[in-house]
Every structure is written in structure tokens, then in C-alpha cells.
Chains A and B, each alone.
Chain A
Amino acid sequence: MIAEAGLAALWLAASLALLQLALAAIGLRAQRNADELLVAVRPVAIVQGALAVVAMLLLIVLFQQSDMSVKLVATNSHSAKPWLYKVAGAWGNHEGSMLLWVTILGLAGAAVARFERQLEPRTLAATLGAQGLIALGFYAFLLFSSNPFERLSPAPRDGQGLNPILQDPGLAFHPPTLYAGYVGLSVAFSFAVGALVTRDVGRAFARAMRPWVLGAWVFLTLGITAGSYWAYYELGWGGWWFWDPVENASLMPWLAATALLHSVTVLATRDGLRAWTVMLAVVAFSMSMIGTFLVRSGILTSVHAFAVDPERGAFILALLLLYIGGALALFALRVGTVREGTTFELVSREGGLVANNLLLSVILGIVLIGTLYPIVAAAFGVQLSVGPPFFNKAAGPIALVLVVVMAAGPLLRWRRDKAGEVVERLTWPIAAAVFAFAALVAFATPIGVLPLLGLSLAVGLAVASVAPLWKRDLRRTPLFTWGMVVAHLGLAVSLAGMACDSAFTAERLVALRAGEATRVGPWRVSFAGLSPVIGDNWSGLQARLTAERDGRTRLLFPQSRTFADPPTVTSESAIATVLDGQLYTVLGAADGQGRWQLRLWWKPFVTLIWLGGTLVALGGALSLVGRLRPRRREAWT
């Protein structure tokens, strides 16, 4: 019954999405007396979102009950799974993750319908209509080719289990967070479509769209940061970013959203970059959909592609072409009616933000081309791979220039500034960067050019990012200024962590007998022996390691786990976190002569990568609160 109720909820939600689209379309076409129609779009969008949530909850209940008569549960779960993974397992597969996608899409639409009060009613109706159209396509995808509630007859006695790599608390948080970001950008897309339909691109539109972009961006930042840490400790080789297609699929919307949230500020503050902002809103959500397509279609091989089906790829590709093509066609038709925005002086805050947008867009283009190139080449019969060396060489230098722009941007004045005065304001950041550069060249062991420049610029950026607070009354500094400071500082912190990891990591690969010891970086690691361990649905071995440094010791227990359903062996790293970095240990295989393979890394300041990412997200959250608060105060008075 529960599965049938879930399916019914999905069909109802799909019909309401159609109704939402129809009401908006008819209401906007009618010459008069259509206000009732436009007003009715709101409750329809709210109920549609609620029904999608109901369907998602029912799927979770089915996983919780281990109802093996449901095909999805039988193929992706097992009655012996721990509780958390029965819940999270609901979206650790293709159908469930697509249902989560439309659920968040429905919620986002409902939130716009419920809370948006700034937008002109016709534009809001057009926005919700666009949101209904997007939802409709993805409901169709679920109902016709990826039904999560399909029954299985006869029901098997037990399920096949979840991929053990996914059996991790990361699964509970990473996909929903990332999807909230992906799908949050659908709101920006719908706003852009709505504004194009009603020819209403201006400052009010930018102010209404900004909180949604900020919110989506915060979720994307958190999702990418958490996903990077998850891959780092789970994959067991100490890497934290692989330029893997699925990682790129999450990075591309983030790059577009970062550009968008800066350009929307120019539009809201100075009424410039109108067409460009609308274009970016279309691009940002297009990147989300391309990401979904890349991950869900199985067109790319990736460490993340755990549930793929090439045939479904065609469906998503059709949706992708329909939405992106439709939006671009609308853009081409209406861009002439979007009045040219204000133009700027080259040396001005606006100029800095244009440079930001230019560089972010170029990086986005590089990541997109690099990710798709192997597919295009394969279509011509050429097999090749594009990976970290290409992305680092092509995007790395541009990213470093972007860091310089980031340092200078917030210290520029709106409208017009003088280059000489800007350099004067940047005295301390420049001095800090030069000092760091000189110290690294003089005292550190020789390191690569990119890490050297990265670390020096990170120091300069850290100083520059707090500069906007100098000589200011901190209590009267607006929250969104704090947000910018914290986010920029977070990026400097993260960049420093990346540079330190690639410059200073010490590696020790060694086979040891019980009782033997080795050194890695400042640590002496001794191997006391192995002991068996038993988990909820796995058994395994763990090494007992004692790490000593300056008279202090840490115990680490890296494990090798054997899962029964499905049969898999995984290695679980053990990590000791100290103030200046992490000691990362992995247990490998036996060599047959009584020795066990150990992989040890000392990674100085690697934790800054994720600390910085968290600060960036915190900065976004502060800005969001800062942007929402004054509006609420107006509503009260």
C-alpha cells in the first residue's frame, strides 16, 4: 500500500505541476481579469511541493521497513543494514536520488510561492510557471523511466545490499546538501525566465533573486566541501580532489553561482550587467542539469557513478536540451528588450566584479570543455583522458589571477577609483604576499611554482580580505560586509591548505611486521599488531598503530573491512588530526611473509582546505541573513 500511495503522490504532484504551468501561461496571456488565475499559482506550487515531500518520505519508510517486494529496496538495501543507511540508502541509488532531486525542486518552488513578496505578481506567476515546467519534465522522467515504487514479484527473501563505499555518514548529508544547491539554482533560472517573459529585468528583480542565489551557493559550497572530505578519508589514498567528472559536475554550478552572486550584486546596486546576469542565471542551472545528466546517464566513468543507466541518459539529455534550448531561445528573443544597463569605469568596484565574472566564466568554460572533451573525442573514435594535469595547467594560473582580483576588489570604490590609490590601499596585502614568497624561497625545501604562488597569494588575500574592516565601527558594519570578509578569508584559508598539502606532504609506503616501526614526517609510527573487528554487517582486521611525536602519542586503528552483501573488501583509513595537520594511515594487504603493507602520510595544514570551505559557506550564510533582515524590518514597521 505504501508504495502505491507514493506513486499516487507522484502522479498528483505531476498533475499539479502541469496545472501550475497552465494557470501561469493562461493568466499571463489573458488581457484582463486574470488576477485570480495568477494568485492561484501560489497554493498549487505549495501543494505540489508538499506531495513530492510525501512521496520521498514514503520511500524512506519502505527502506526503513525493508519491504523487499519493492524492487528498489530489494536491489539497494538489506534487512541487516544499520538504521541510518536504511534512511540514506533511499537516495543512494538512481531512482531515489532523482526522487530527492524533484522533492527539493518542489520544496524550492513551494518556498518561492510562500515567501517571495518583492517580485511583481506577473513576474512571480511566470517564475512559478517556469518552475512547474521544470518539475513536470523530471516527474515525467521518474514516472516513465525511473519509477522508485516499482513492485517485484515474487519478493526476494532479502535485499542485495548497498554499495559498502556508500555506507558512511557522508551519504546521509552530502547528496541532500549538494542537491539543495543544484536545485536552488533552478529558482534563479525560473526567476530569469519569469523576468524575460514579463520584460522585468531590473534592480527589483536582482534584489528578489539574490537571496535564492546566495542560499543555493551556500549549500553547494557545503556540499562540495563535505564531499571532498568524504572522498579524502574514504578512498584511502590521501587525495581530496581528483578532477573527476562528477566532482566537476558539482564544481561547474558552483563556479556559475559564484559569478552570478557577484553579478547580481552589480545589478542590484548599480543597475548594470542586466543581460549578463540573466544569462548567468540560465547558465548556472544548465550546469546543474548537465551535472545531473553526466552523473545519471553513465556516459562518463567515475568513482561516483554507482548507479547508472545509459538508456535513461537519453531522457535526461532531451530534458536538458528542451530547458536550456528553450531558455536560450527566450533569451535571444527578449535580450533586445532588456535595456542596456549602466556602463562603468575600468578602475571601479564594478570593474573588479566584471573581472571576477570574466575569470570565473573562463574557468567554468575550461572545466566544462575538459570534462566533455573525452566524450566528444570518443564520438570521433579517439580514446583519450583529460585529468588533473590539464585542469591544473589550464585553470590554475587563471585561478591565481582571480585571487589577485579578489584581494583588490573589495577595496575598490563604486563608480570610479584611482589606480594609484588602490595600490596604496593594498600596501599591507602586497607586503604580506612578498614576505611569504621570500620566506618560502629562502627557508622551505624547493616546492612547485603553483604551490609557491598559491601559498604567497593566500597570505596576501587573507590580509586583504580583512582590510575592508579597518578603521570601521565593527558593531555598525553591515552583516553582508562581514559575510564577504569571512567568505574571502575562507577562500584564502582553503587555498593555503591546498598549497601546503601539495608542497609539504610526506609519504611513507612500507611493509612492517608486528613490533616494527617507521618514520613519516615528524612522526614515529610503530605497528603493534592486528586484531579482528566486527561491525553491524561486516567483519575485518584492524592494525594497532602508535604514532609518537615530541613525546606525545596518538593511537590509530586503520581497518580492512569485508562486507557480505554485496561481497566487497574496503579499507578504512585512520586519521589523527593535530593543530598543524593530519597523520593519515591506511592498512593494505599482507605480503605473505608475515608483513603488512601500511600507507602513511603526514599532511601539514591539510585541514585548512575544509576549514576554509566551511568559512566560505559561513560567509555566504551571514550575507544571506544580512540581506534578508532589513527587508523583514520594513515589513514590521
Chain B
Amino acid sequence: MAQTTAPAELADTQLADPVQEASARTLMETLRCVVCQGQSIADSDATMAGDMRALVRGRIRAGETPAQVRDWLIARYGDYITYDPPLSAATWPLWLAPLALLAVGAWIARASFRRRS
């Protein structure tokens, strides 16, 4: 859905420095648009997403690292804002799941192989 009001500066304008723009872009793809339904701020027409893009680009231009910008956003909006859940008491089972699944899968698969004598 296209927005009807004029977008904030930097919402849809790239940073002059391509390295900064690339890191801003990578970060934006991991941030959730809080008013949309399951879209990142990099893929959304919502005004709110545009404002957040402007904020990310502005802070990166001012010299902050993507990690600093992300931490600031998490401190302000909570873990909900990032699609890349930080490791915490609530998320370690999620991050451990792939390894656990591999281990369990390998153990099950073992049964279908002939035992070597």
C-alpha cells in the first residue's frame, strides 16, 4: 500500500556512502515493521516503516555501528522489533533446536544402517 503523505528524509533515499548504505540495508532487513503484518521495514509501504528506515540511516550516517542501532531499538521497542532474536533465557531453546534436531535425526537414521561387524 502506497503512502499518501510525503516520506521522511532518508526513508527512501540512500546514504551517499555505499558501505554505510549496505550496512543500513542489511540491518533494515532484520527489523520488523511494528504496524505491518509480518514485514520487515525494508519491505513495507507503511509510514511507520519509512520513519524507521530514516532513523536507521540517520544513525548509521552519524557513525553508529549496526549493532549499536539494533541495541538501541531493542532497548526502546523490545525484542519484538528484531527478526534475529538475541540469545537470552527465552530464546536459547530456539537457537539450540537446529543442533538438537540434527543429533536426534542422526540417532534415528543410524537404525537404518547395517551394523559393521
Contact = CB atoms under 8 A, between A and B. Distances in A.
Contact of B83 (A301, A383, A386, A395): A386
A374 to B, nearest CB: 9
A343 B112 contact: yes
A272 B112 contact: yes
B32 A569 contact: no
Contacts of A239: 42-43
Interface stretch (A27-35, A66-74, A362-370, A609-617): A362-370
Contacts of A343: 112-114
Q: Which of B5, B81, B94, B108 has its CB near the most chain A CB atoms (within 10 A)? A: B94
A265 to B, nearest CB: 14
A588 interface: yes
Contacts of A301: 37-38
A199 B110 CA distance: 25
Contact of A386 (B4, B94, B105, B114): B94
A506 B35 CA distance: 28
Nearest to A341: B112
A490 interface: no
A99 to B, nearest CB: 24
A599 B12 contact: yes
Contact of B113 (A354, A509, A511): A354
A366 B98 contact: yes
Given A346-B113, A568-B1, A242 B39 contact: yes
A236 B45 contact: yes
B62 interface: no
B106 interface: yes
Contacts of A387: 30, 32, 40, 83-84
B87 to A, nearest CB: 11
Contacts of B39: 235, 242, 244, 303
Contacts of A509: 12-14
Interface string A243-275: 111000000000000000000000000001100
Interface in B25-44: 25, 29-30, 32, 36-40, 42-44
B44 A237 contact: yes
A385 interface: yes
A388 B97 contact: no
Interface string A321-363: 0000000000000000000010111100011001101100110
Nearest to B22: A507
A475 to B, nearest CB: 36
A interface residue count range (under 10 / 10 to 19 / 20 to 34 / 35 or more): 35 or more
Given A242-B43, A343-B112, A384 B91 contact: yes
Given A362-B105, A589-B6, A373 B94 contact: yes
A305 B36 CA distance: 12
A302 B12 contact: no
Given A305-B37, A383-B79, A569-B1, A388 B30 contact: yes
A270 to B, nearest CB: 11
A357 B38 contact: no
A398 B4 contact: no
B75 interface: no
B3 interface: yes
A362 B108 CA distance: 12
Nearest to B30: A389
B109 interface: yes
Nearest to B43: A237
Interface in B13-68: 13-14, 25, 29-30, 32, 36-40, 42-45
A237 B42 contact: yes
A344 B112 contact: yes
A511 B45 CA distance: 16
Interface in A222-237: 235-237
A244 B7 contact: no
A237 B44 CA distance: 7
A15 interface: no
Contact of A235 (B4, B43, B90): B43
Contact of B85 (A361, A380, A384): A384
A235 B113 CA distance: 47
Interface stretch (A449-457, A463-471, A590-598): A590-598
B72 interface: no
A588 B82 contact: no
A338 to B, nearest CB: 13
Nearest to A590: B6
A508 interface: yes
Contact of A389 (B12, B44, B84): B84
B1 A570 contact: yes
B50 to A, nearest CB: 9
Contacts of A507: 14, 25
B112 A365 contact: no
B105 to A, nearest CB: 5
Given A358-B106, A361-B105, A369 B4 contact: no
A585 interface: no
A48 interface: no
A350 B29 CA distance: 40
A597 B3 CA distance: 11
A507 B106 CA distance: 43
A389 B40 CA distance: 11
Given A245-B38, A303-B37, A366-B101, A344 B2 contact: no
A369 B94 contact: yes
A383 B38 contact: no
Contacts of B30: 387-389
Interface string A202-246: 000000000000000000000000000000000111010011110
A362 B5 contact: no
A384 B37 contact: no
Q: Which of B2, B43, B81, B114 has its CB near the most chain A CB atoms (within 10 A)? A: B2
A152 interface: no
Interface of B: 1-7, 12-14, 25, 29-30, 32, 36-40, 42-45, 78-85, 90-91, 94-95, 97-98, 101-102, 105-106, 108-109, 112-114
11 contacts: A237-B42, A272-B112, A343-B113, A370-B94, A384-B80, A386-B85, A395-B98, A507-B14, A571-B2, A588-B7, A589-B4
**10 nearest interchain CB pairs?**
A387-B83, A389-B84, A237-B43, A365-B101, A383-B80, A384-B79, A301-B37, A343-B114, A571-B2, A302-B38
Given A351-B113, A385-B80, A387-B83, 20 more contacts: A242-B38, A242-B40, A245-B38, A276-B108, A344-B113, A345-B114, A355-B109, A358-B105, A361-B101, A362-B101, A384-B85, A387-B40, A388-B29, A398-B102, A509-B12, A510-B14, A560-B2, A571-B2, A591-B7, A597-B12
